[in-house]
């Protein structure tokens, strides 16, 4: 078998040279984009082969693998050509990917579940990990106040994302700073009522169950200057309660927060974003960070939602390791993969 390397300005040009020298039946083994060390000019290098003992690569396939017909080999060659052309096109559209260091950063972000188009924008601003961290920090939207500085929260989200557990985690921290707490719930399900009562007992605070939204408004206005208010809402696949309370709570001085499960897939969280009325939401919070496989979706969702991140939580209800982290932890999670207090 004869193997030879060919070079040219574009893949198309190299392909013509290969066909001219080795014939139309030559097999493309590999292709890559390189740069001349002195002039720094880019060129394409292709490694091709042809078997000297056979008339064509097609004959090679039919003799060595008689059970596979020639159409199969032709399809492989067609796909190789298309992939190489696609690689060349992508490199031209995004020149930064021609830089090996930036390509490494891009691959790193993709492995961490950052959306491809967001990853491309990030690597335009960064040449190394430190600069990448800085770029993420600049893009990340963060609430001005820490969660414990807010006067209260009302939590929205899909069923099971951790709204009620978040209330308990926040309550623990607020109690440790001697803040007075009141828990309100508009979820009348028996399991939810029992859960809220258990949390209120552990936190030694008052809990009220509200059936009318107008009543919720009155209680919040009455108690907001004396206590930190934490409001639980029913798990709703359409998150319709946010739109329902939008006008009622428009002048209420508490944060309307959409809870998103960090362990859920990006597509599931994106569906949740599309369902909620973002005009009824002030910020987003992430739960179950300890169960997440990667952390790029936190950055994705911050950018896509257009809303600032208020907090990140980890651990289940009752766990000693349950924590609430500030949003500026996200760059560390993505770049370093660690969650710091």
Q: What is the DSSP string of 104-166?
A: HHHHHHHHTT--HHHHHHHHTT-SSHHHHHHHHHHH--B-SS-GGGSSEEEEE-STTSSHHHH
Q: 258: closest CA among 228, 237, 280? A: 280
pLDDT lower than 70: segments of the chain: 1, 37-39, 51-75, 78, 80-100, 318-321, 337-341
Specify the DSSP element, H or E, that contains 168: helix 163-176
- What pTM does this model have? 0.70
Q: What does the pLDDT read at residue 235?
A: 83
State the burial class of residue 13 (Cβ atoms within 10 Å of its Cβ: 0-12, 13-18, 19+). middle
Q: Round to whole Å and give the CA distance between 8 and 44.
A: 5
29: helix, coil or strand? strand
* Torsion sign (Cα): 133, 138, 143, 145: positive
Distance between CA atoms of 117 and 100, rounded to whole angstroms?
18
Could you confirm whether domain 147-336 is CATH 3.90.1170.50?
no
């Amino acid at each position: 078998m004869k193997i030879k390397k060919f070079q040219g300005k574009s893949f198309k040009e190299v392909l013509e040279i290969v066909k001219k020298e080795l014939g139309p039946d030559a097999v493309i083994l590999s292709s890559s984009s390189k740069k001349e060390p002195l002039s720094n000019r880019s060129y394409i290098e292709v490694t091709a082969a042809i078997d000297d003992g056979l008339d064509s690569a097609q004959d090679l396939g039919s003799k060595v693998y008689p059970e596979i017909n020639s159409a199969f080999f032709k399809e492989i060659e067609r796909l190789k050509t298309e992939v190489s052309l696609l690689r060349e096109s992508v490199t031209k559209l995004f020149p930064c990917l021609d830089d090996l260091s930036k390509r490494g950063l891009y691959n790193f972000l993709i492995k961490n579940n950052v959306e491809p188009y967001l990853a491309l924008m990030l690597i335009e601003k960064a040449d190394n990990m430190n600069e990448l961290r800085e770029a993420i920090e600049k893009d990340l939207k963060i609430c001005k106040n820490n969660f414990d500085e807010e006067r209260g929260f009302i939590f929205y989200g899909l069923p099971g994302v951790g709204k009620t557990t978040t209330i308990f985690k926040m309550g623990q921290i607020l109690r440790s700073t001697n803040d007075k707490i009141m828990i309100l719930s508009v979820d009348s399900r028996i399991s939810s009522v029992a859960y809220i009562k258990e949390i209120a007992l552990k936190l030694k605070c008052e809990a009220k169950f509200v059936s009318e939204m107008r009543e919720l408004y009155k209680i919040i206005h009455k108690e907001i200057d004396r206590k930190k208010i934490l409001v639980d809402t029913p798990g709703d696949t359409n998150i319709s309660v946010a739109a329902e309370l939008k006008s009622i709570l428009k002048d209420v001085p508490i944060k309307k927060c959409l809870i998103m499960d960090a362990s859920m897939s990006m597509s599931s969280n994106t569906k949740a974003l599309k369902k909620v009325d973002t005009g009824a939401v002030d910020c987003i919070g992430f739960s179950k960070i300890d169960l997440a496989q990667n952390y790029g979706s936190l950055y994705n969702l911050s950018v896509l939602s257009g809303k600032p991140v208020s907090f990140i939580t980890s651990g289940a209800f009752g766990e000693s390791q349950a924590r609430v982290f500030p949003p500026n932890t996200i760059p560390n999670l993505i770049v370093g993969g660690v969650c710091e207090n």
